[in-house]
Amino acid sequence: MAYNLLKGKRGIIFGALNDMSIAWRVAEKAVEEGAQIVLTNTPVAVRMGTVNELSEKLNAPVIAADATNIADLEALFTQAQEILGGKIDFVLHSIGMSPNVRKKRTYDDLDYSLLEKTLDISAVSFHKMIQVAKKQDAIANGGSILALSYVAAQRTFFGYNDMADAKSLLESIARSFGYIYGREKGVRVNTISQSPTMTTAGSGVKGFDGLFDFSDRMSPLGNASADECADYCIVMFSDLTKKVTMQNLFHDGGFSSMGMSLRGMTQYNKSFVSDNTDEEGHIIYG
């Protein structure tokens, strides 16, 4: 059901790779809610992924840009304003990648040139796109800029590796730029910290299936889906959240406030059942 929350607004959505991508769902809902958008991803992702299908379906042009490349970002913001016919009201940064994770380098054996790439792609690109937008005065007054994060920014999760450091930096950039952009132009900058979600980037995390199940059992509302994340993004782009800025907003079914749940404990206790006892610990006689 649509509410026309983004009627007349113009947006740029980074990071739709395929129909599992969170950005894909955000793009669909943004258009449903009345926005005009431009889609963007790296030249390789545009060639290899299926973003062109989404582009046709939504009548939204695709402009290829590497989010770590300033010249690409400058061209993107200039062209997006020309195509959409004015300043941009909302931007979604839905970008993450760790070459260390891809190359199976553990956190105590990081390749530092790959770490620089992880941080550049997954966090500094957020700074770069905001700085380029601000220098071009491309964002409308009261505009909303969002990036997607994960709770590993605050707590340690086995296997999340250098992406945890990238997410901490990403959330810090939202605060630092949120202050400056808010003060000068009334632009909001926030991050949404999303549950584990079955996407291309998500399933690259070590032990993702176990993490997904653990998180679902621990959360009173269960894991939040990509569609539900998209709903939250739409509200954050809308005029209903005009005074929300510099926040990391948990969208995780309650996971981040939990210590242990009944469903989690029940599953955990199963690991204590030995081969010759039942679930109450009584010996099973042959």
Ligand X SMILES: NC(=O)c1ccc[n+]([C@@H]2O[C@H](COP(=O)([O-])OP(=O)(O)OC[C@H]3O[C@@H](n4cnc5c(N)ncnc54)[C@H](O)[C@@H]3O)[C@@H](O)[C@H]2O)c1
Please report how many Cα atoms fall inside a 13 Å half-sphere around the Cα of residue 221, on the Cβ side: 12
For ligand X, the closer of residues 42 and 100 by Cβ is: 42
Q: With binding defined as CB under 6 A, does residue 218 bind ligand X?
A: no
- Nearest-approach distance from CB 66 to ligand X, in angstroms: 5
245 binds ligand X (CB under 6 A): no
Q: Report if residue 143 touches ligand X, rule: CB under 6 A.
A: no
Please say which residue, 55 or 194, places its beta carbon nearer to ligand X.
Answer: 194
Residue 112, classed as helix, strand or coil, is helix
Q: Which is nearer to ligand X, 84 or 129 (CB)?
A: 129
Beta strands in the chain (DSSP E): 10-14, 36-40, 88-93, 139-149, 188-194, 248-251
Q: How far is the CB of 197 from ligand X (least distance, A)?
A: 4
CA 36 to centroid of chain Cα atoms: 21
CB of 44 or CB of 273, closer to ligand X:
44
Closest approach of ligand X to the CB of residue 14, in Å: 6
| 8 A C-beta contact, residue 14 and residue 94 | yes
- The answer to whether 237 and 6 have CB atoms below 8 angstroms apart is yes
Q: Count the Cβ atoms, other than its own, within 10 Å of residue 116.
A: 13
Neighbours of 203 (CB within 10 A): 13
Contact 24, 18 (CB under 8 A): yes
Which residue in the list 3, 107, 160, 179 is annotated as catalytic? 160
Residue 150 annotated in active site: yes
- Contact with ligand X (CB under 6 A) among 73, 88, 95, 169: 95
Residue nearest ligand X (C-beta atom)? 202
User: Residues 6 or more apart from 275 whose CB is under 8 A from it?
Assistant: none
Q: Are 145 and 103 in contact (CB under 8 A)?
A: no
Of positions 201, 230, 234, 236, contacts ligand X by CB under 6 A: 201
Is 285 one of the annotated active-site residues of the chain? no
By the rule CB under 6 A, 81 interacts with ligand X? no
Using CB under 6 A as the binding rule, whether residue 219 contacts ligand X is answered as: no
Among 10, 27, 42, 129, binds ligand X (CB under 6 A): 42
Closer residue to ligand X, CB minimum distance, 117 or 263: 117
From 105-113, 145-153, 231-239, 257-265, span contacting ligand X (CB under 6 A): 145-153
In 3D space, the residue among 173, 167, 163, 194 whose CA is nearest the CA of residue 256 turns out to be: 194
Cβ 224 to ligand X, closest distance in Å?
A: 9
- Cα(16)–Cα(233) distance, rounded to whole angstroms? 14
Catalytic residues: 150, 160
Q: Where along the sequence are the contacts to ligand X (CB under 6 A)?
A: 14-15, 17, 21-23, 41-42, 45, 66-68, 94-97, 121, 148-150, 194, 196-197, 199-202
